[in-house]
A and B are shown apart, each in its own frame.
Chain A
Amino acid sequence: MNVLILTPSLTQHDAVSNEVVLQHKLLSAKGLGVSLYAEKVKSFSHGALCTRGKAVALLQDPACLVIYHHSTGWQEGEILLAQVQGKLVIRYHGITPAEFFPHEPATQREIQQGNEQTRRLAEHHRLQLVICNSHFIQQEWPSGGMGKYPVEVLAPFHSLEAFPSLAFQKIEDEIHVLFVGRFTPHKGQSNLLRLMIRYRERYGSLFHLHLVGKGSGKKTFLYALYQEIFANSLSAHVHIHYDVEAKILASLYQRSHFFISFSEHEGFGLPLLEAQYHGLAVLALYRGAVKEALGAAALGGETLDLDRFCAAIRILSTHQKMREEVVQAGHKNFEIYKMKRLQEKFLALLGVNDDNARQ
């Protein structure tokens, strides 16, 4: 059995690209012939990448299973999908609403195109299965498609258990807060600065804030963020880690005490799980799939009550036992998302077992 995985782009440090590679690894290990096709490939190499010609040949093979990763508008992808003769599975990662990119007209156009494509994809005559990142994302799938094919939920694949193992100790006389996410307004980094200011007003001291991520476009937001940091005398306590490698990220997870997310939209929020896995107390604003991902370990709120978040940092940093309780609940939640479980569910959804894999 052949499998073709289609995705608009493959790049480093990207959740969708990471999942594509992990799906390839899993299905190949099952003895399937797996090929990958991406229109844009940036700083990325993979032995299974195929040409457009080979992708078209596979699309026209009725025995080939096609997995299409849908996270944005992709015109070329839709042209390719018109040629599918076999079984089509859509992996739906969700599309961030255009309103979160008010100053990026190109991104807005891409998003609009993506939403229009979602409606057309839902009606695709070869579509057999849709796998969404979360229940939150599942609700976004056009209701017209429901009933014609299963619309299932499976959390994103991750490489957490393969994270570099480093023996860093937490510094207990300082408070280190971490956030990992793209440098865009809706990820809430500005509100994290507001939280610091409020914390200083309340307690007369500051915690360290580590912001990890990559920017998009002209870095206008990053520029504005730095202005805010200088204007509020926060520069000795805010640490921006731009596009860092896995080892640095792992060390930041290990040295930090809290992970705080003020993101306005998350299709799942893998960094939340990463934080739970690394033993951080996670506090979050419940937006998108955040509360769902955090499960029983969710501690935060539906509204951005800065006093409440300040109080949470204060209480959990002074009461070690309470923080430990939150951390343990996080570990327990992570068990649900262990890769082995996700892989088993993925194979079951695709109907891949040892018998049919080798046919």
Chain B
Amino acid sequence: MSFTSIEEEIEKEAKKEVTVPPSVSEDPCTCSYYLHYLFLCWRPILVTFCKRCKS
């Protein structure tokens, strides 16, 4: 089968100049992520918990 029409649509979309201000600039909380990271990589890093996790 051919994806010609799909590829054409993708090509058109790729050429569009679309730059919008990011609405997802900051992550809500990365604390659990830091712990995950520590567990997997076993590297000592400075962990600063957010207010919610601290309490």
CB distance from B41 to the nearest CB of A (A): 4
Is the CB of B1 closer than 8 A to any CB of chain A?
A: yes
B16 cross-chain contacts in A, Cβ below 8 A: 311
Contact B21 A204 (CB under 8 A): yes
Contact check: which of B23, B25, B33 meets A235 at CB < 8 Å?
B33
Interface on B for A, CB 8 Å cutoff?
A: 1, 3, 6-7, 9-11, 13-14, 16, 18-30, 33, 36-37, 40-43
Which of A32-40, A128-136, A168-176, A195-203 faces chain B? A195-203
The 9 tightest CB contacts between A and B, nearest first, are A311-B13, A311-B14, A204-B20, A236-B27, A308-B14, A235-B30, A223-B41, A235-B33, A226-B37
- Give min CB distance, A57 to chain B, whole Å: 44
Q: List 14 A-B contacts (CB under 8 A).
A: A202-B18, A203-B20, A204-B23, A205-B23, A205-B24, A229-B33, A233-B25, A235-B27, A299-B3, A308-B10, A310-B14, A311-B11, A315-B6, A329-B1
Q: Report whether B25 and A202 are in contact in the complex, using a CB–CB cutoff of 8 Å.
A: no
Chain B contacts of A311 at CB under 8 A?
Answer: 10-11, 13-14, 16
Are A219 and B41 in contact, CB atoms less than 8 angstroms apart?
yes
Give chain B nearest CB distance to A337 CB in angstroms.
17
Chain B residues with Cβ under 8 A from A332's Cβ? 1
* Shortest CB distance A326–B (Å): 7
What chain B residues lie within 8 Å of A230 (beta carbons)?
30, 33
Measured between C-beta atoms, what is the minimum distance from A295 to chain B in Å? 10
Question: Assuming the A-B contacts A315-B6, A329-B1, are A236 and B30 also in contact, with contact meaning beta carbons closer than 8 angstroms in the complex?
Answer: yes
CB pair B3–A329 under 8 Å, yes or no, is yes
CA distance A312 to B3 in the complex (A): 12
Residues in A287-334 with C-beta less than 8 Å from chain B: 296-297, 299, 305, 307-308, 310-312, 314-316, 319, 322, 325-326, 329, 332
- Given A201-B19, A307-B14, residue A233 in contact with residue B26 (CB < 8 A): yes
**Quick one: closest A residue to B19, CB to CB?**
A201
Contact A226 B41 (CB under 8 A): yes
Q: Is A201 a contact of B22 with CB atoms below 8 Å?
A: yes
**Is A26's CB within 8 Å of the partner chain B?**
no
Which A268-291 residues have C-beta < 8 A from chain B?
Answer: none
| Known pairs A305-B14, A311-B10, A322-B9 / 5 extra A-B pairs, C-beta < 8 Å | A201-B22, A219-B42, A226-B41, A237-B24, A315-B6
A204 to B20, CA, bound (A): 6
Contacts A234-B27, A236-B28: A222 and B14 contacting too (C-beta < 8 A)? Answer: no
